[in-house]
Structure 1
Amino acid sequence: MTTLTENQNPRTLTPYKLLFATVLKRMDPEQAHHLAFNVIRALPFLGGIAHRFCKPHPSLRVQTLGLSFPSPFGLAAGFDKNAAGIAGLGELGYGHVEVGTVTRHAQDGNPKPRMFRLVDDRGLINRMGFNNGGSAAAVPRIERARLRKNRPIIGANIGKSRVTAVEDATADYVWSAERLAPISDYLAVNVSSPNTPGLRGLQELELLEPLLAAVKTAAGATPLLVKIAPDMGDEQIDGIVELAVRLGLDGIIATNTTVSRTGLTASDERVEEMGAGGLSGAPLKDRSLAVLKRIRQTAPAEFCVISVGGVTTAADVLERLRAGATLVQGFTAFIYEGPLWARDINRGLRQAGWRQDLAER
């Protein structure tokens, strides 16, 4: 087993990081995202060049949820909200792509600006508000992506529409689940975004139990997971784990973004100027890891736990796998690391001999 090399250092200068520092950092974050996304969508039309360069080594394959994941590392929900870039993202080396969050009703999301970089903290604050074209519009895009060779595992993350009252949330989720479950590899129920009024209240057990039970029925044989927030105490986390296991869910995704602003190097004035929203990226690392460890204290060994939050390097991913994560997701560091991020993580995991490392523990 070898150690990770210097190219896994997030501070190492690369051509992309130079481009980010001189050009992309000066652009509005949402505008820069759309520009990069257009390039990603074009990758499948380049004859598979990116896939040959970035594809995960077969030794990284993971069996879970009754599925074969090409790599333990995937892309979290929020990057591809409308399932428009699945094939391109797969070519960049992500073992799975979780699309969405999609809602029953198409919606524009919150007013702009609604995404803000914390460059020195390697973080991001967003209050996007589930901007998406609706779950029905995502169906044909997912169907097309499923037909492509070497595609990643496709997860669909579903949420509550803003126009839907909290008391009607279950029907809203079920409507999306009925359409997306038949064509997705797994479903994720998002009850943890801080950017939709009333959504996090659905994590209370008396509301969450009937919601998850109904969505599980609608999902049928499609694996079902629930995505939780980091801003909960141990007792609430334990309660959700017990509920998920009792209802026969297949896993938990931990965690979503945080409303906390502690430990940032950015000035209080700058953070206050950005306003409300969920904080993601490196500032979330410690809390996300702590929630993962808490879940693993009570969850059965076969229960799938996807860890997300503050992951940047192969060493970060390996730390989550050692702590009991079945799979690991990232998002924010894509902005700072660039298009070869997944490739570098996969290469780092292979170099570290991660399977042997875990087997010895």
Structure 2
Amino acid sequence: MSAYSLLRPGLFCLDPEQAHNLALGSMDRAHALGLLSHFVPKPVIDPQIFCGLPLGNRVGLAAGLDKDGKHIDALAALGFGFLEIGTVTPLPQPGNPKPRMFRLSQADAIINRMGFNNDGVDACVARVKASRYWQSGGVIGLNIGKNASTPIEAAADDYVIGLKKVYAVSSYITVNISSPNTKNLRALQGEDMLRSLLSSIQLARTALCDEHGVRKPLFLKIAPDLDPTDIRLIADLLLEFEIDAVIATNTTIERSAVAHLEHGAEAGGLSGAPVRTLSNSVIESLKQHLGSRIPIIGVGGILSGSDAQEKRAAGASVVQLYSGLIFKGPELVRECALALK
């Protein structure tokens, strides 16, 4: 039995957010003492070049697990090929009222309505710079969003602020317009608002590229709750504004798979096994429209190596994990990396 399988029953007795913080804090302490390597599998070495970035393997950490960059070095020790931190906003914000995270163990699923709780972009950037993983050249993406208090009409201002703040320290930047937990955020996926947003971001990136002498890859993270017309429009805009990759997908607002379970009707985004099919469908549609012109990062419902292989078969080049880690533990990173090697 793995160390995580022994610890999981105790963690699952706790409130999900409390368990999350306890697990990450314990992992940090174990890493600082040099003990973590004794409890996690050896990393899979499978070097990849993705959007010009040197990944250690094809499995990354999805945004949301480490919103503030507080656990970078310990998470890197789990064997990920790259990490994504955030979502960070220009100003600190507490997020939504608690409780705001619900574990649906029967379905290997989580519902969260965290609401971009974070210490603000400046604090996150400082932690990234202080991490040994970043200092040694590890690939870290920064996921940026808007503050809840910012009107949706002014959302582009927040994204441009975030882009400017993280540009120098990030390996790549992800624009998150698909969380269901910030009011009206998903409206940014509509054609007119997305075109306006990407136009503002493109102008800012051009200026930052000139200023820093380097073009940082820019990714867009989209929802699984899109119809074929939406996906086609987004694919066209990705090409028009030279977005380097698309992350498919964020959490879903669909509840049919869990409505019968305790907490199944809670507001928020549903992640884990129930989002797998939706995510794969969006990946397949994007692949049809984009071909090999823009690569896809597959996220959503990966709880085994075969799930990771399904993402690749659908059209993803690399994958990211989050909820699967909660249910399966660090062994999942190695299992998926081996399956994709």
Residue 23 of structure 2 is aligned with which of 15, 33, 36?
36
Name the SS of the counterpart of 2:199 in structure 1. Answer: helix
Return closer, same or farther for 1:114/1:151 CA change in 2, 3 Å cut-off. Answer: farther
Matched, 1:199 2:193: no
Matched, 1:241 2:229: no
Name the SS of the counterpart of 2:298 in structure 1. Answer: strand
Name the SS of the counterpart of 2:70 in structure 1. Answer: coil
Return closer, same or farther for 1:286/1:67 CA change in 2, 3 Å cut-off. Answer: same
Matched, 1:68 2:57: no
Letter in 2 for 1:56: P
Write the deviation string for residues 149-186 of structure 1: whole angstroms up to 9, x where unpaired.
Answer: 66641011101100101111101110011010111000
Matched, 1:45 2:36: no
Aligned to 2:219: 225
Aligned to 1:5: none
Aligned to 1:17: 5
Matches within 5 A, 1:169-318: 169-219=155-205, 220=209, 221-264=215-258, 267=260, 270-272=263-265, 275-318=266-309
1:283 is displaced (CA, Å) by: 0.4
Write the deviation string for residues 29-55 of structure 1: whole angstroms up to 9, x where unpaired.
Answer: 000000011123235424486299644
Between the two proteins, what is the percent identity of the paired residues?
41
1:147 is displaced (CA, Å) by: 5.8
Superposition RMSD on alpha carbons, in Å? 2.0
Letter in 2 for 1:45: A
Structure 1 stretches of at least 4 aligned residues deviating more than 4 Å after TM superposition: 146-151
Q: Which has the higher contact order (CA 8 A, sep 6+)?
A: 1
Matched, 1:325 2:311: no
Return closer, same or farther for 1:52/1:149 CA change in 2, 3 Å cut-off. Answer: farther
Return closer, same or farther for 1:76/1:62 CA change in 2, 3 Å cut-off. Answer: same
Residue 82 of structure 2 is aligned with which of 69, 93, 96?
96
1:67 is displaced (CA, Å) by: 0.7
Aligned to 1:144: 130
Q: Which moved more, 1:313-322 or 1:231-240?
A: 313-322
Q: Distance in 2 between matches of 1:260 and 1:338?
A: 26
| Aligned length, in residue pairs | 333
Letter in 2 for 1:75: L
Name the SS of the counterpart of 2:106 in structure 1. Answer: coil
Q: Distance in 2 between matches of 1:16 and 1:86?
A: 19
Letter in 2 for 1:339: P
**8 Å Cα contact 2:44/2:334 also seen in 1:** no
Q: Distance in 2 between matches of 1:333 and 1:175?
A: 32
Structure-2-length-normalised TM-score = 0.92
User: Any gaps of 5 or more consecutive residues in structure 2?
Assistant: 210-214
Aligned to 1:128: 114
1:56 is displaced (CA, Å) by: 3.1
Q: Distance in 2 between matches of 1:248 and 1:47?
A: 43
Name the SS of the counterpart of 1:318 in structure 2. Answer: helix
User: Any gaps of 5 or more consecutive residues in structure 1?
Assistant: 1-12, 356-361
Letter in 2 for 1:271: G
